[in-house]
Chain A
Amino acid sequence: MSTPKKAPRILSLPAKVYLVLYNVIQFLGWSFIQYKMIDHFTNKGLKVTGLWEQVEIPLLIFQSAAVFEIVHSATGIIPSNVGITFAQVFSRVFLLWPILYKVTETRDQFGFPLLLAAWTITEILRYLYYTLNLLSTVPAIVQWCRYSFFIILYPIGITGELISCYCALPHYSTTQDFSTLLPNKWNFTFSFYYYIILVMLAYIPVFPQLYGHMFLQRKKILGSKKHD
């Protein structure tokens, strides 16, 4: 998610402690979600129904907590670009609340486990990497995984996300939740249904850029044999 550090960053001790704690907690949280997911499929077979109930609470908590990362990048304690961090957190939170949480039909469809698998593996790796990085002890294998798994996880994840968005459309079309229609005094309209479509279309230009960015990172970090 973040860009590689250009120069060694000098973090104050409290900031460092805070970040290590944050990343460790997220690592544990996502590992727990992953465990629940595996547990569900081991016991129930390939059924999607019931998966949401197993992971709902930790998923809502730990994914929503990612909002803190926007603050982290804005305050500069992590080297990421605020805009990119915002976009990535926003897309997750968008899937989580108005789609998965609000529209119950999205929890029984195939896109949900797809995105969940992608999210859990990615986040476990990412938070592990950040923690070890803060402690300056990243084993080569972890670094390799972090910069290689995305190659299949990104496409799997966005497939799941797009399918889930598509599944949520009928609900918004019928209920007009979060939408404002005419007539009104200010002649303003907002259709959440069309907004979802707009977000789905936005994947077309945005995904190649993010994917390409990760490949560049990969080349830069794995390409040279140095460890950061």
Chain B
Amino acid sequence: IGILSTSGGKQLATLTVDPNSTLKELKTQVHRLKSHLYPDRQEFRQEPRGKGLDENKTVAALGLKDQSKLYLKDLGPQIAWKTVFLTEYAGPLFVYAWIYTRPWLFYGEDATSQPMSQVAHIAVICWVFHYGKRILETLFVHRFSHATMPVRNLFRNCAYYWIFAAYVAYHINHPLYTAPCQIQSYIALGFWTVCELGNFSIHWLLRNLRPPGSKERKIPRPTKDPLTLLFNLVSCPNYTYEVGGWIAFTAMTQCIPAGLFAFAGFYQMAIWAIGKHRAYKKDFKDYPRGRKAIIPFVL
């Protein structure tokens, strides 16, 4: 089988393979020939601009014969998802916590001596808890379907998370920050707590939906946990809860920058939710019809 590059159509290698070998094994062979192309960096296609092929499929299953050609796309340097998430989430946690101490760099020398509202103290706890939870979930809860992603994304994502964290933190921890009335903050805090628990419940459910080591996909349905009832209304209640949490955080702090962050997050998660929702509907003929993607009854 001839292996051609997707850029330029150059012949990269010719492999001799067993018809029952999977593409995964082919990748290992290519890696032996080209040491910089580790398997996670390779994507096989039947056409230069075609869809990536599932590496678990066998040569025979794809109808490849002697002298057949396969295209190989170099996905660029890869980084493990886990590494990505840990970097993306540790950043905002430490950045916010640091700004909470009112460093002179942002606020001048006199800032630390000035009083801080109760809400600002509560906000840092919420923020640190939220990202701490995310880190723990990345380490112990989530099961990832892809092992890696391109390194390029890491810089872009980190910039987004870290800069936004600084932007929000700067305002809430500012000596001239104005807290809203206490009742508003406490109600919002309650709502935030429910959303955090809800978000975790969904992550836990999704983890248990997929047996360890498998890439199997099943329709998620509510369990005994009442917070999972949201699955009756949306395909991605984890995103719904996440957005809810940030709206609550915004209401608790009455801070437009936090609102902008909530909106940006909502925008991105809505895109992901719609994609996942479509994928579910495509993969499962019996997918529940009352469900929306992220906002019950609406979107």
Contact = CB atoms under 8 A, between A and B. Distances in A.
B184 to A, nearest CB: 12
Nearest to A180: B256
Contact of A183 (B172, B178, B257): B178
A122 B219 CA distance: 59
Contacts of B177: 182-183, 187
Interface string B245-284: 0000000011111000000000000000000000000000
Nearest to B168: A187
A185 interface: yes
A89 B253 CA distance: 37
B159 interface: no
A182 B174 contact: yes
A187 B256 CA distance: 6
B262 to A, nearest CB: 14
Contacts of A183: 176-178
A189 B257 CA distance: 9
Contacts of B257: 187-188
Nearest to A183: B176
Contacts of A188: 171, 255-257
A183 B180 CA distance: 12
Interface in A171-196: 182-189
A189 B254 contact: no
Interface in A183-227: 183-189
B255 A186 contact: yes
A193 B97 CA distance: 27
Nearest to B258: A187
Contact-residue bracket for chain B: 10 to 19
Interface residue SS majority, chain A: loop
Among the interface residues A184, A186, A187, which one has the most CB atoms of the partner chain B within 10 A? A187
Contacts of B172: 187
A185 B171 CA distance: 12
Nearest to A189: B171
Nearest to A190: B256
Nearest to B180: A185
Nearest to B255: A187
Nearest to A188: B256
B174 A186 contact: no
Interface string B190-201: 000000000000
Interface string A79-100: 0000000000000000000000
A184 B171 CA distance: 11
Nearest to B167: A189
Nearest to B253: A187
A185 B253 CA distance: 10
Interface string B218-256: 000000000000000000000000000000000001111
Contacts of A184: 178
Contacts of A187: 171-172, 174, 177-178, 253-257
A179 to B, nearest CB: 14
B228 to A, nearest CB: 35
A124 to B, nearest CB: 39
Contacts of A189: 171
A189 B255 CA distance: 10
A182 B176 CA distance: 6
A188 B172 CA distance: 10
Interface string A49-73: 0000000000000000000000000
Contacts of A185: 178, 254
Nearest to A186: B256
Contacts of A182: 171, 174, 176-178
A182 B179 CA distance: 12
A184 B174 CA distance: 12
A184 B255 CA distance: 10
Contacts of B255: 186-188
Interface in B97-132: none
A181 to B, nearest CB: 8
A25 B256 CA distance: 44
Nearest to B256: A188
Interface of A: 182-189
The 7 residue pairs across chains A and B that have the minimum distance between CB atoms: A182-B176, A188-B256, A183-B176, A187-B255, A186-B256, A183-B178, A187-B171
Given A182-B174, A187-B254, 6 more contacts: A183-B176, A186-B254, A187-B253, A187-B255, A187-B256, A188-B256
20 contacts: A182-B171, A182-B174, A183-B176, A183-B177, A184-B178, A185-B254, A186-B254, A186-B255, A187-B171, A187-B172, A187-B174, A187-B177, A187-B254, A187-B255, A187-B257, A188-B171, A188-B255, A188-B256, A188-B257, A189-B171
